[in-house]
Chain A
C-alpha cells in the first residue's frame, strides 16, 4: 500500500481535451444550426459570400463535430478512464506524457488545417474523408501516437486483465487505422505532372464503383469505429462507475464485443443498395445490417440492466439520466438503421432527409449525451470540485432531449414524404410531382428541424458554462468521490 500512496492519476491531458470538446462542440453545432436554417430560409446562404453557402459549410459541420467534438470527447474519456482501469498513471512515464502533449499539439494543427482547407473548398470530396493528402498524413501520425500511448500504458499496467472499455478503445484504434488508410489512398498530382498545379491536390486510387465501395466501407465504419465502438467504451466505464453498480453481465459484454466486431464491417454495403455494386454484396450488406441488431442491443441491454434495482438513481442523478437516455437512443438508432437497410425500405429512404434524421438521433441522443456525461463525471475528479449546478444540468437534459425529438420526428416525416412523392404516379403512370414540388413541401419540417437543432445548441452552451464554472467556481472537494459525482 505505501508504495502507491504518493501516486495520483495525472489529469493534465484530460483537461486539454475537455476544452477542445467544448470549443469544437460549440463551433460544429453552430454551423449545424446555420445550415439547417439555410434549408428553411435560403437567404441565410449569403452571410459570408462564397464561404457561407450550404454546400461549402456542410462538410465543415460534419468534420468539426466528428473530428473535433467527438474525437476530443473520446480522447478525453480515454485519457481519463483507460489509466484508471489499468491502474497506472500517465505521469508514471514521462515519455508517454510528452507524446500525449505532442499528440494534442498535432491534433490542434490538423483541426485548424481541416477548418481552413474546407472553408476554401480544398477537398477530396469523399464524405467524412474530405481532407487532402498532407492533412491525411498528419492524421496518421496523430493516430499512431495514440496507439503508442495506448499500448505503452497497457504495457505498464498493474491490472492483468483488460477491462471491457479497453477492448473497445483498441478496436477503435485498429479499425479507424485500417479503414482510414485504405480509403484515403490517393495519388498526389504534383509528383507525376512535372510539378504543375496545386501541390495539395490528389486523385483517388480507385475509380467509380470501386471508389464507392471503399468509401462506404469507410463511411459506414467510421460510424462504427468513431460513433459506436469508442462510445460503448465510454459507457462501459462511466455508467458503472457513476452508479456504483458493476456491469450487469461481463459474459454478455464479451459476446456483444466479438459479435459487433465481426458483424459491423459487413454492413457497409447498405449505403449502396440499388446502385451499381453487385447484387450479392447489396444483399449481404442488407442481411448483416439486420444481424447487427443483436450485438448492438446486447451492449445496450447490458447497460440498462446494470441499473437493475437502482432505478431511483435515474430521478436523482442527471448524469445517470444522460447515460440511460443515451443507451435508449442507441437502441432506437440501431433498430432504425437495419430497418432502413432493408432493400424495399431503402428504395424510399435513400437520398431523403430520413438519413440525416437517423444519423442525428444517434449522434445527438447517444454520442453527444455520453460525451457530456463523461466530461461532467471526470470534471469532478479532474478539478476536485463539485459540479457547479445540478439544475442547469437537468435543464440541459430536458432542452436537448426536446431538441433531439423535434429533429428526428420532423426528418422522419420529411424523408418519407419526399421518398413517396418522388415515386408517386397518376392513373396513367406519369410522375405526379415535379422535383421542386417535393422540395417546397418540406419547408415546415426544415423549420422544425432548425428549431430542434437550436434547442440542442442552447443546451451545448449551458453545458459549456456549467463545465467552466465547475472548473473555476465549484465547491472544492477534499478527495475524489468514489462513485456518484457530487453536484450543487
Chain B
C-alpha cells in the first residue's frame, strides 16, 4: 500500500512537500495578522534612527546582544518591563538575537545616556573595566548611510503603510530636503548630548558619523 511511493519520484516529492509544508500552515499563518499590530502610541523609527539600526546590523551587535526581555523576575529586575509583541511592529527585520554575551538592549534607552554610549563605543573598558566587548572607533569616522535609511522609510511607507508623514517621499530632492531640515537638527541634538567635540564639529559640517545614528537608535530602545 505504501511502498510504491518510493518508486515514484514525482508523487514521492509531492508527499514530502505536503508533509513538511503542513506544520508551517498550521503554526505560522493563523497568527500573522494579530502579531503584526503595533501597541498604542508606538511611533515608527525616524530616518536617523533607521540609519542607526543599519549600523547596528552592519557591526552586527546582534551577535552578542538580545532585544527580548523574557517574563521572569530576574529579567524584569535587570532590564525592565518584559517585551510585548506590539512593540516590534515596525522592526524589519526583528533583532531579538539568540545569544547574550553582553546584556539585553531592548530598553537600554531607559538607563543609559548618549555620552555613556559614546564613551563605551570608543573604549568599552573606560566604563566597564572587565568588558570583553571590542571598541568600535571606526563608527566615529565612517559616515552613516542616511540615504539608504531614507529609502527604507519610503519603502515601508509605500509597501506596508507604515505611518510616516508627507516628509517621507520618493526621490533625491525629497531626501535632501529632509536631510537638511529634519535629520541634521536631530543629529545635532544627539551629538551635543554625546559631549564629544569632534563629533559635534562633523555634524556642524553637515556630516553624520555612524556613531550618532547608532546612539539615536539606542536612545529609541525604551
Direct A–B contact in complex, judged by CB atoms less than 8 Å apart: yes
B88 at interface, CB cutoff 8 A: yes
Given A194-B154, A194-B170, A197-B152, A121 and B94 touching (CB < 8 A)? no
The one of B68, B77, B93, B138 in contact with A49, judged by C-beta atoms closer than 8 angstroms, is: B138
- Is there an interface contact between B151 and A189, defined as CB atoms closer than 8 Å? yes
Question: Nearest A residue to B56 by beta-carbon distance?
Answer: A125
A269 and B151 within 8 A (CB): no
Q: Is the CB of A425 within 8 A of B74?
A: yes
- Are B35 and A210 closer than 8 Å at their CB atoms? yes
B133 near A42 (CB under 8 angstroms)? yes
A198, B71: Cα distance in complex, Å: 39
**Which single residue of chain B is at the shortest CB-CB distance from A154?**
B9
Q: Which residues of A contact B (CB under 8 A)?
A: 38-39, 42, 45-46, 49-50, 53-56, 58-59, 121-127, 151, 154-155, 160-162, 167, 170-171, 174-175, 178, 182, 187, 189-190, 192-198, 201, 203-215, 217, 254, 258, 261-262, 264-266, 268-269, 271, 274-278, 281, 284, 347, 350-353, 355-356, 422-425, 429-431, 435-436, 439-440
Are A197's CB and B159's CB within 8 A? no
Contact with A along B42-78 (1 / 0, CB 8 A): 0000000000000001111111101010111111011
- Given A54-B134, A151-B9, are A265 and B94 also a contact pair (CB < 8 Å)? no
Which B residues are CB-close (under 8 A) to A55?
A: 59-64, 134
**Given A211-B88, A212-B94: 11 more A-B contacts, CB < 8 Å:** A56-B60, A178-B21, A196-B172, A197-B150, A207-B90, A207-B160, A209-B94, A211-B94, A217-B24, A217-B27, A352-B99
How many angstroms from the CA of A424 to the CA of B93 in the assembled complex? 33
Task: Tell me the B5-39 residues at the A interface (CB within 8 Å).
Answer: 6-7, 9, 12-13, 16-17, 19-24, 27-28, 31-32, 35-36
Judged by a CB distance under 8 angstroms, whether B40 is at the interface is: no
25 contacts between A and B (CB under 8 A): A50-B136, A55-B64, A123-B60, A127-B62, A167-B16, A170-B9, A182-B24, A192-B155, A194-B170, A196-B154, A196-B171, A197-B151, A198-B145, A203-B152, A206-B36, A207-B94, A261-B19, A274-B72, A275-B70, A276-B83, A277-B85, A351-B97, A425-B74, A430-B77, A439-B102
Task: Determine how close the nearest CB of chain A comes to the CB of B61; give it in whole angstroms.
Answer: 6
- Which residues from chain B sit less than 8 Å from chain A, CB to CB? 2, 6-7, 9, 12-13, 16-17, 19-24, 27-28, 31-32, 35-36, 57-64, 66, 68, 70-75, 77-78, 83-103, 128, 130-136, 138, 142, 145, 147-152, 154-156, 158-160, 170-172, 174-175
Q: Which residues of B contact A160 (CB under 8 A)?
A: 7
A174 partner residues in chain B, CB cutoff 8 A: 13, 16-17, 20
The 6 A-B residue pairs whose C-beta atoms are closest, nearest first, are A208-B88, A197-B151, A194-B170, A121-B58, A265-B23, A197-B148
Cβ–Cβ contact B63 & A189, under 8 A: no
Instruction: Please state if B20 and A175 are interface contacts (CB–CB under 8 Å).
Output: yes
Distance to closest chain A CB from B221 (angstroms): 14
Bound CA span A265–B128, Å: 42
The complex places the Cα of A430 from the Cα of B78 at a distance, in Å, of 10
